[in-house]
């Protein structure tokens, strides 16, 4: 399940993408538009800056902006930065301890397929897709 942190990070990134021509956007404006507390938003933005997705400047005229074009960010990249791995079960996470049942697990192939579907889906949607009018998923369904 995607947490509030991941969902809010996507909203913030989409907001910044939608307003990218406005220069650096103050935290309080983003928080107000997205109806997110400034304190919580600040913690999310810190991670996005650390991850190289945003740049921030302080002082008058300061704020945040994207470091690249909206089409260069995937939802998968944003979620992995804020949520960690998107694996549906612990045994598929990169640094997990090897499962003793791995070789005889009847459900592992299903979990692997789901993991691939999740990552393929989220990596196929960009910020540009999210802010496009009548945005559609790669499968042709509306977002």
Q: Which residues of the chain have pLDDT under 50?
A: none
Q: Please indicate, yes or no, if residue 116 is contained in any of the structural domains.
A: yes
pLDDT for 136 equals 56
pLDDT for 112 equals 93
pLDDT digits (tens, 9 = 90+) for 99-111: 888 889 999 999 9
Return the CATH number at 49: 1.10.10.10
Is the Cβ–Cβ distance between 27 and 38 less than 8 Å?
yes
Secondary structure (3-state) at 83? helix
Number of domains in the chain: 1
Is the Cβ–Cβ distance between 80 and 47 less than 8 Å?
no
Provide DSSP, 92-117. Answer: GSTTPPPPTTGGG-SSHHHHHHHHHH
> Residue 26 gets which letter from DSSP?
P
pLDDT for 135 equals 54
Q: Please indicate, yes or no, if residue 118 is contained in any of the structural domains.
A: yes
In whole numbers, what is the pLDDT of the chain averaged over residues?
91
The parent domain of residue 87 ranges over: 1-138
Q: Please indicate, yes or no, if residue 111 is contained in any of the structural domains.
A: yes
pTM of the model: 0.85
> What is the distance between the alpha carbons of residues 45 and 27, in angstroms, rounded to a whole number?
9
pLDDT for 109 equals 92
Q: Please indicate, yes or no, if residue 143 is contained in any of the structural domains.
A: no
Q: Please indicate, yes or no, if residue 68 is contained in any of the structural domains.
A: yes
Q: Please indicate, yes or no, if residue 59 is contained in any of the structural domains.
A: yes
Query: Based on C-alpha coordinates, what's the Rg of the chain?
Result: 17
């Amino acid at each position: 399940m995607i947490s509030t942190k991941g969902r809010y990070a996507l909203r913030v990134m989409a907001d910044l993408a939608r307003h990218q021509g406005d220069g650096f956007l103050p935290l309080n404006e983003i928080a107000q538009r997205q109806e997110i507390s400034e304190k919580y938003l600040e913690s999310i933005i810190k991670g996005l800056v650390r991850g190289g997705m945003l740049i921030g400047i302080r002082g008058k005229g300061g704020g945040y902006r994207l470091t690249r074009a909206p089409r260069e960010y995937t939802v998968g990249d944003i979620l992995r930065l804020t949520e960690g791995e998107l694996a549906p079960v612990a045994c598929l996470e990169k640094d997990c301890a090897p499962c003793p049942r791995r070789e005889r697990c009847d459900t592992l192939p299903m979990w692997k397929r789901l993991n691939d579907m999740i990552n393929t889906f989220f990596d196929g949607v960009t910020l540009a897709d999210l802010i496009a009018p009548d945005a559609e998923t790669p499968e042709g369904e509306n977002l």
